[in-house]
Structure 1
């Protein structure tokens, strides 16, 4: 008598987990490649990585001034990494730092006119780099889907861990 082995398909949960793993891997690869390429372009043209330009952008969005701790949270940085970035930006004259009189542990970071000029002059390079390395390979529908997916995930993260997720 010959035994027949019946192979059952993987459980749906396993298939879903595999799909999630593949999606996660593709997302991680895409983000790493795009960030590396955009950083390369920005450093070549402006001397600053996108993380530093993002700090300048966030400062501009909020009227030019923030506490360094808030700046760290909104940029997804540790306190020490934000302090290091702000020190480099201050050395370049792009921001100024001032300890608060009522709380000597807190530092306020202010965008300077030179910092705003640097941010404005970096915009064409950033736009061109993002088009070349990300948006140019997507059609209008895909760009819309990417924006909606990013907004949906970001909103969910803010609701589930409001103290850990950067604000909108």
Structure 2
């Protein structure tokens, strides 16, 4: 067995900054959405994904697009269904799958929440770093996604 390729001090600092920064950023986004709109960040993202897919997706596609387990998405969608934001129905195409549809109430919630969500993203990330660094972060994360998605093409979301 070969020795691990340990991170040097600079790499370790960058890795830990990434971990802490993404955790704090996602916590802030979730906190603001819950406080201002009664939505979790995952619920908001489900509304976004459905909106971008002409209002409906198969549950399996929705789970893959979020990189979450089917059971986690099913649980979240059930809660959202109870709030009137989405509806589930059997697929008319093949009768096997379940379709998640955005309701008018869900679309209105998305329209209401989107401006404050974007402001949170701006305040917590976009306006904090120079644009060149933000674009570099985008390139870095694209490279990470490309490498990880290559092993699971069904997770291609972009």
TM range (shorter): 0.7 to 0.9
* TM-score, with length taken from structure 2: 0.88
Task: Determine the C-alpha separation between the residues in 2 that align with 1:138 and 1:17.
Answer: 25
Structure 2 SS opposite 1:138:
coil
Question: CA deviation digits over 1:11-52, x for unaligned, max 9?
Answer: xx54x5544333221111000000111111111111001111
Structure 1 position 89 matched with structure 2 position 80: yes
- RMSD between aligned residues: 1.7
> How far apart are residue 100 of structure 1 and its match?
3.0
* TM-score, with length taken from structure 1: 0.83
Task: Determine the C-alpha separation between the residues in 2 that align with 1:93 and 1:28.
Answer: 35
Question: Would the aligned equivalents of 1:158 and 1:167 in 2 still touch at CA under 8 Å?
Answer: no
Question: Would the aligned equivalents of 1:96 and 1:111 in 2 still touch at CA under 8 Å?
Answer: yes
Which residue in the other structure is 2:57 paired with?
66
Task: Determine the C-alpha separation between the residues in 2 that align with 1:166 and 1:74.
Answer: 7
Which residue in the other structure is 2:116 paired with?
125
Task: Determine the C-alpha separation between the residues in 2 that align with 1:143 and 1:88.
Answer: 35
- Of residues 72, 95, 100, the one that matches 1:103 is 95
Structure 2 SS opposite 1:33:
helix
Which residue in the other structure is 1:31 paired with?
22
- Structure possessing the higher radius of gyration over alpha carbons: 1
> How far apart are residue 167 of structure 1 and its match?
2.1
Where do 5+ consecutive residues of structure 1 fail to align? 1-12
User: CA 1:150–1:67 in 2, change beyond 3 Å: closer, same or farther?
Assistant: same
Task: Determine the C-alpha separation between the residues in 2 that align with 1:166 and 1:36.
Answer: 25
Question: CA deviation digits over 1:40-83, x for unaligned, max 9?
Answer: 11111110011111011011111111111111111011111000
Structure 1 position 55 matched with structure 2 position 46: yes
Aligned residues: 153
Which residue in the other structure is 2:157 paired with?
167
> How far apart are residue 166 of structure 1 and its match?
4.2
Where do 5+ consecutive residues of structure 2 fail to align? none
Which residue in the other structure is 2:35 paired with?
44
